[in-house]
Amino acid sequence: MQTVTARTTISPWIQDLPKVELHLHLEGSMSVATVAALSERHHVDPSGVWPNGLPERFSFDGFPDFANQFFYGLSLLRTGADIATITEDLAATLATHNVRTPR
Ligand SMILES: [Zn+2]
């Protein structure tokens, strides 16, 4: 199977371009740091999904592996505060990619 990992290097020209996010899934956009924070908040051990600890970046090996990680993330969304946390995390991430709202 092919392992899918996010590209880490973006040219400055592309980085600086203003962008718009056309479609994303909030619950699928959690950063590793946010998954770690929510795991701690809810006293959930992620080692069942990541036996060697949370990775530096999420990647997966096929759909079952993706689904296992995705559903772990979903299990951490329990309160309005959790939704606020992932929304703030996503907004911060999008800002680093120069994603803007329409004017
Ligand atoms: Zn979609």
How far is ligand 1, taken at its centre, from the CA of residue 26, in Å?
Answer: 10
> Domain range spanning residue 53?
28-103
How far is ligand 1, taken at its centre, from the CA of residue 28, in Å?
Answer: 10
pLDDT category of residue 5 using cuts at 50, 70 and 90: low
Number of domains in the chain: 1
Residue 1 lies in a domain: no
Tokens read off for 103: 């004017």
- How many whole angstroms separate alpha carbon 41 and alpha carbon 83? 13
How far is ligand 1, taken at its centre, from the CA of residue 36, in Å?
Answer: 24
Residue 89 lies in a domain: yes
- How many whole angstroms separate alpha carbon 53 and alpha carbon 64? 19
Residue 51 lies in a domain: yes
Residue 103 lies in a domain: yes
- Are the CB atoms for 57 and 3 separated by under 8 Å? no
Residue 78 lies in a domain: yes
What pLDDT does 6 receive? 60
For 43-85, write each residue's pLDDT tens digit. Answer: 999 999 999 999 999 999 999 999 999 999 999 999 999 999 9
Residue 5 lies in a domain: no
What pLDDT does 11 receive? 86
How far is ligand 1, taken at its centre, from the CA of residue 22, in Å?
Answer: 10
- How many whole angstroms separate alpha carbon 7 and alpha carbon 50? 21
Tokens read off for 72: 């772990």
Residue 6 lies in a domain: no
How far is ligand 1, taken at its centre, from the CA of residue 83, in Å?
Answer: 18
Q: Is the pTM of this model over 0.85?
A: no
